[in-house]
Structure 1
Amino acid sequence: MSVLDVRSQVGEFLDGLGRPALIGYLPVGYPSVDDSVDAVRTMIDAGADVIELGMPYTDPVMDGPLIQTAVDAALARGTKVRDTIRAVEQVSGRGAPILIMTYWNLVLRYGVDAFARDLASAGGAGLITPDLIPDEAADWLAASDAHGLDRVFLVAPSSTPERLASTSAASRGFVYAASTMGVTGERATLGNRAEQLVADTRAAGAERVCVGVGVARPEQAAEVAGYADGVIVGTALVRTLVDAPDAATGRADLARLTSALAEGVRSAR
C-alpha cells in the first residue's frame, strides 16, 4: 500500500468542517482512567472537534509543569499503555477523531506495528509524536500506512525550510506547529511567530497546519483560528481538572471552558 492509497481520517474531517477546528488535549488516567474517559466525552459534547489523548510517560520533555502534575498522578495510580488504547475505544465514534499524543519510546516498547494495529482496531485516528522526526520514523511510516492511521509531526519557529518541507511531506492529517519554543503551558501572548510559522509550513507543502502551545483563552483561540486550520489547547483544559475539588466539578468547569474556546474558534471566520 502506498502513501497515496491511505485516507487521512483527520484531514477529511477537518476538510468537512469547512472551518478551523478546536483540538483539545487531556491525559489518560487523570484523575483516574474512568474519570479521564468521562472528561473526554464532556469535552466532545461541549464543542471540541478533535481529541488529543496524552499517553502518560515518565519523561514528558514537551509538557509543562501542570500537565506533568496530572501525568505523574496518572502514573502513580498505575495507568498503563493499554489503558490509553481502551480509552480510545470508549470515546471513539462520538463524532470527534481521536489522536494519541505519545513519546516514541512507549510505542517502541509496545511494538510499532502492534501499537498501530491495536490503535486502529480501537477506532483511533493516529498519533502525534513530539519526539520523533520523519528521518527516524521509517517503522512508523510503514505501520501507519499499513493500518490507515494519520501521523502528526511537529515543527517549531526554529525549524529550517528543509525541515518544514520534510515534515510536511511525512505528515498525514495535519502538521502540528508549536507556537513558541519551550514546553507546553498557558501564555499571556502568542506573538507573531506562530502566524509566520503557519505560513512558512504551508509554503513548504503542508495541506493543513494546526497551532498549539500557549493557547488558553477564547480570544487567543479566535486569534489563532484566524490563520490556522486548528487550535490546540491542552494546559488550560487540564487545569480545570487539576484545580477542581472533585471530578464532577472538574467536568463542569471543563465543559464551560471548552464551550468558550469553541465559540472563540468558530467566531474567527
Structure 2
Amino acid sequence: MTTRIDTRFAQLKKEGRSAFVTFVMAGDPDPETSLAIVKALPQAGADVIELGMPFTDPMADGPSIQAAGLRALKAGMSLKKTLALVKSFRETDNATPIVLMGYYNPIYIYGVDKFLADAKAAGVDGLIIVDLPPEEDTELCVPALKAGLNFIRLATPTTDDKRLPAVLANTSGFVYYVSITGITGAAAADAKAVGGAVARIKRHTSLPVCVGFGIRSPETARAIAENADGAVVGTALVDVVKTSLDAEGKATPKTVSAVADLVAALAEGVRGARQAAE
C-alpha cells in the first residue's frame, strides 16, 4: 500500500532534492490558529508535516515543545480534536503527508483500533511514537501498518549497528535520525557527523532518512539536507509561535505569518542544498 509519504519522497527523489519536514504542535496556541498555521505550511514550502499530539508528560521534548503542548492542552486540545484538525486540513489539501508525533498514552486511552480507524479516516499518513520501542511492536506498530499507516522510527547517535536492524524491522515511510543525544532544541546539529550517521543507516535500509533536532537556521537546514533525504525543524517553529503571542499568550494577527515566513526561509535553505551537492 502506497501512502502519501511514499509518494512524496518518490517525487522529491525524481526532483533530486531533500524534503523539508516541519513540526508544529496541534492546537498551539488554540485550535483555530493551529489549523491556519498547518494550512499555511505547504504553501510556505513544507513537504511533510509532523503534528505534535499534546501530552502532559512529554519526556523527549525540550522546554519549547513542552510549553507548546501545555498551551494546546490549556486551549482545550485533545487527540479527538487533533484528528478533527487533520480532517479539516484534508478538505483543501489531499497531497501533503501528515505524520502524528507523540506518546503512546493518549492513543492507549483512546483505544488503539478506534484510533487507527479514525486517524486513517481523517487523512493521517504516519505515526512517530517516541516511547514505543521495537519490543512493543504488537501494541501499535504492527496494527498501524495493517491499517495502512506508516510507522516511523527514531534512530539516534547511540543506536549502534547491532540495534539498528531491530529499530528498522517494521519501520516504513522514512527513518527519523535524531542528530543529537538529548532533548529537542538543546543543541545545534553537526552536519559532518550527521553525514556519516546517515550513510551508516542507509547501509541497513532503502528508506529515506530524515534528520531532526538541532536545526534552527536556513544554513544548518541546507548543510543537513546535503547529507540526508530530509531536514526536520520543530523547536524553531514552535518558538516563533510563542514569540508572536500577546501578553496573555493568545494568538495575534502576526502568529500565522510569522511561522510561514520562517518556514519559507528554511525551505529555501533545504532547496539550496541540491545545487551545493551537485
TM-score (norm 2): 0.90
1:65–1:218 distance in 2 versus 1, CA, 3 Å:
same
Aligned counterparts of 1:129 and 1:88: Cα–Cα separation in 2: 17
CA contact (8 A) 1:23 1:230 kept: yes
CA-based RMSD = 1.5
Q: Secondary structure at the match of 1:267?
A: helix
Which segments of 5 or more consecutive residues in structure 1 lack a partner in the other structure? 1-5
Counterpart of 1:17 in structure 2 is: 12
Partner of 1:80: 78
Say whether the 8 Å CA contact 1:119–1:126 is kept in structure 2: no
For residues 31-66 of structure 1, give each alpha carbon's deviation from its aligned partner in whole angstroms, at most 9, with x where no partner exists. 101111111111121110100000000111111111
After TM superposition, list the pairs within 5 Å mapping 1:112-151 onto structure 2. 112-151=112-151
Q: Per-residue deviation at 1:140?
A: 1.9
CA distance in 1, matches of 2:241, 2:165: 38
Instruction: Sort the Cα spacing of 1:85 and 1:71 in 2 relative to 1 into closer, same or farther, 3 A.
Output: same
Letter aligned with residue 224 of structure 1? I
Task: Return structure 1 stretches of 4+ with deviation > 6 angstroms.
Answer: none
Q: How many corresponding residue pairs?
A: 264
Per-residue CA deviation, residues 244-266 of structure 1 (Å, 9 max, x unaligned), is 13432121111111001111111
1:254 aligns with 2:259: yes
Given that 2:157 and 2:178 are in contact with CA atoms closer than 8 Å, whether structure 1 keeps it comes out as yes
The 1-side partners of 2:41 and 2:84 are apart by 18
Q: Secondary structure at the match of 2:227?
A: coil
- C-alpha contact (below 8 Å) 2:83/2:118 kept by paired residues: yes
Q: Which residue of 2 aligns with 1:102?
A: 102
Q: CA deviation at 1:189?
A: 4.7
Alpha-carbon shift at residue 214 of structure 1 (Å): 0.6
Equivalent residue, structure 2, for 1:182 = 182
Alpha-carbon shift at residue 182 of structure 1 (Å) = 0.6
Q: Where do 5+ consecutive residues of structure 2 fail to align?
A: none
Alpha-carbon distance in 2 for matches of 1:168, 1:206: 10
Identity of aligned residues (%): 38
